[in-house]
């Protein structure tokens, strides 16, 4: 752990030095938080509006299936999550950032977490999550808030901050996000992130072999709207006068950098061929299994006095 602390101190000027933040593209800066295009509030409102549409038009129709799974006492953790997260989970207070419609959050209760709080930017997602909890006879708290600005009452409460499965690409500022994760964690608490690998953004989703999408570059940090879900849903419902669903393909190294700058220690980093949704339906199995599609990060906040 000493080596990682030295990395953090060298980036930040030491524990007592000026904090290093990132601009809206995630780049390090000592000038404080950078304003997002159009302002943070505008960005927040536009993304909330877009995800409200996605929630109504896509996830509402899956409600009964989700409730049936939860009533059966099941969860939908995938193998890499079971192997790493499950040993940490039992009896832990979990805060789930970008909880969406609540299925994954409520599944954590079935996997042994107590209590669980879900946070999402979309009021419609939160409404569905609350309804799902009631229908499944599970008790969880769901709050409508920005993942980078969670309610102050949650500061220092989380044994585990859980996030991922398509969450991080919607974060415009990794520095603010990582700082929020640290605030949520109690001393000795862990972040568990299980996320889609940004390499997948490079490939044509409709092809039956590896074809690089036009204009794609693994090292391009600019926000862009990708074809297909969820942008296609918002386009269909709202037309051209709609929010743009801007994603960033944050690389694992950038995510880890942000966590180190936030003074969290890296415990674990892994890459997997596991997919959490079928984005390449026409690929043969040999191609699917030969590339990383997901990765996980576990980071820890130091105990008091460490």
Q: Find all residues with CB under 8 Å of 60, minimum gap 6, and list them.
A: 128
Per residue of the chain (306 residues), give pLDDT as tens: 333 333 333 333 333 333 334 343 343 333 333 334 445 577 788 999 999 999 999 999 999 999 999 999 999 999 999 999 999 999 999 999 999 999 999 999 999 999 999 999 999 999 999 999 999 999 999 999 999 999 999 999 999 999 999 999 999 999 999 999 999 999 999 999 999 999 999 999 899 999 999 889 999 989 988 888 899 999 999 998 898 899 999 999 999 999 999 999 999 999 999 998 888 999 999 999 999 999 999 999 998 666
pLDDT at 224: 87
Question: Is beta strand 185-196 parallel, antiparallel or unpaired with respect to 141-144?
Answer: unpaired
Q: Is the peptide bond before 41 cis (omega within 30 degrees of 0)?
A: no
Which sequence spans correspond to the domains of the chain? Answer: 43-301
Please, what is the end-to-end C-alpha distance for the chain in angstroms? 10
pLDDT at 40: 58
Instruction: List the beta strands (DSSP E) in the chain.
Output: 21-22, 28-29, 94-97, 116-120, 141-144, 158-164, 185-196, 264-272, 294-301
Characterize 182-215 residue by residue with b for buried, 16 or more Cβ atoms within 10 angstroms of its Cβ, and e for exposed.
bbbbbeebbbbbbbbbbbbbebbbeeeeeeeeee
Give the CATH superfamily of 43-301. Vaccinia Virus protein VP39 (3.40.50.150)
Residue corresponding to tokens 């040993």: 87
pLDDT at 42: 77
């Amino acid at each position: 752990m000493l080596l990682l602390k030295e990395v953090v101190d060298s980036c930040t000027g030491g524990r007592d030095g000026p904090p290093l933040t990132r601009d809206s593209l995630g780049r390090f800066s000592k000038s404080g938080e950078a304003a997002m295009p159009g302002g943070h509030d505008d960005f927040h409102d536009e993304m909330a509006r877009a995800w409200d549409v996605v929630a109504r038009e896509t996830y509402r129709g899956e409600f009964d299936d989700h409730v049936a799974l939860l009533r059966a006492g099941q969860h939908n953790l995938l193998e890499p999550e079971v192997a790493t997260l499950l040993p940490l989970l039992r009896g832990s207070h979990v805060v789930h950032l970008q909880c969406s419609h609540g299925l994954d959050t409520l599944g954590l209760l079935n996997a042994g977490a107590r209590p669980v709080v879900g946070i999402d930017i979309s009021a419609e997602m939160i409404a569905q999550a609350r309804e799902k909890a009631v229908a499944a006879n599970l008790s969880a708290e769901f709050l409508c808030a920005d993942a980078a600005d969670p309610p102050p009452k949650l500061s220092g409460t989380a044994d585990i901050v859980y996030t991922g499965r398509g969450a991080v690409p919607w974060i415009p500022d990794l520095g603010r996000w990582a700082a929020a994760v640290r605030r949520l964690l109690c001393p000795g608490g862990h972040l568990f992130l299980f996320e889609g690998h940004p390499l997948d953004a490079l490939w044509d989703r409709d092809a039956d072999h590896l074809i690089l999408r036009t204009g794609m570059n693994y090292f391009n940090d600019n926000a862009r709207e990708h074809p297909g879900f969820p942008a296609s849903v918002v386009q269909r419902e709202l037309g051209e006068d709609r929010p743009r669903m801007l994603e960033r393909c944050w690389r694992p190294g950038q995510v880890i950098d942000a966590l180190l700058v936030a003074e969290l220690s890296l415990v674990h980093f892994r890459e997997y061929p596991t997919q959490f949704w079928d984005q390449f339906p026409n690929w043969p199995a040999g191609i699917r299994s030969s590339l990383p599609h997901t990765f996980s990060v576990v980071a820890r906040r130091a105990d008091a006095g460490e």
